[in-house]
Amino acid sequence: MTSLNQDIREKLSRLNVFEKIIVANIIVFLFGIITFRFQGGGSNLEWLSLSKSFSDVLSKPWTLLTYGFTHYSFVHLFFNMVVLYFFGRSFSNLFKEGISLKVYILGILSGGFAFVLVYNLFPSGILNTVGSLVGASAGVRAIIIFLCTYLPNKEVRFFTFQFPLKYIGIAIVLFDVPGLFSANSGGSIAHFGGSILGYFYATQFQKGTDIGAFIDRITAYFSRTTAPLKTVHKKKKTSFAGKKKEEFDRFTHQKQIDLILDKIGKSGYESLTQAEKDFLFRAGK
């Protein structure tokens, strides 16, 4: 059993951030099926889904995040995870895992806030008859729109057709408009919340501002409070332009990535040299 656990942990450690998100969604879905069977039917996983009632959200604030990892329908789960997988591959090749996770998490939060806000501002409006919100669609939308905004002219191929990435983003937003007047109007509101977040994150990131930096500070804080004390041995550091070698290497590495991404944004992915493509591929690992 110990060997099996070690093998599972080793395999999970090799997954990229999107594959880990997919695994988490599948685990929650399977857990829901198991609890449904043991309960003999009836509602399950309500403690993870997001209510449109503001008072319910205050009593269960974690649902602003957990709803994005919860699916009741296999079809809903399947399509969300397939789309996330294929767009996640492109995202992982271009950006660091930290950025990927922050866009996804903030997309889910933004979609959840939009859902609750619209209902409480217009309680007798389009969300009057909808139930609780579940699904990863807001986070998936944030990832797609981020890519379409940051690299609008990157060419993508669909069978024999080739077109800029920005047209996918436009099509996705337009496709969500009719959904506002359907039985899934709550999901469409969350989609728009995720799309707005993805667009805003990308435009700010192009200007050098990471709006998800506060998540890094939160995780760093908890890492410091939970990490055991270690004996520190001071070593002489070599200085490069007033910076430590490690800081200098990270700076030049990120600068090279930014220059390549800027080139993609202006001239398209195909304008890159093979060396630049190889560098991006290695940086995304």
3-state secondary structure 97-112: HHHHHHHHHHHHHHHH
pLDDT digits (tens, 9 = 90+) for 60-105: 999 999 999 999 889 999 999 999 998 888 887 788 778 888 999 9
Q: What is the pLDDT of residue 115?
A: 93
Q: With beta carbons less than 8 A apart as the criterion, state whether 74 and 82 touch.
A: no
Q: Which of 90, 196, 106, 204 is nearest to 147 (CA)?
A: 90
Q: Is the pLDDT of residue 43 over 60?
A: no
Q: What is the pLDDT of residue 122?
A: 84
Q: Is 149 helix (H, G, I), strand (E, B) or coil?
A: helix
pTM of the model: 0.74
Rounded CA separation 280/284 (Å): 6
pLDDT digits (tens, 9 = 90+) for 185-211: 888 999 999 999 999 999 999 888 899
Name the DSSP letter for residue 181: G
Q: What is the pLDDT of residue 281?
A: 65
pLDDT digits (tens, 9 = 90+) for 23-32: 999 999 998 8
Mean pLDDT, the chain, whole residue set: 81
Share of the chain above pLDDT 90, in %: 35
The domains of the chain, with CATH numbers, are 10-216 (1.20.1540.10), 240-285 (no CATH)
Per-residue pLDDT band at 35 (split at 50, 70, 90): confident
pLDDT digits (tens, 9 = 90+) for 206-260: 888 899 888 888 877 776 665 555 555 554 454 444 555 566 566 677 777 777 7
More confident residue, 117 or 271: 117
Rounded CA separation 193/119 (Å): 13
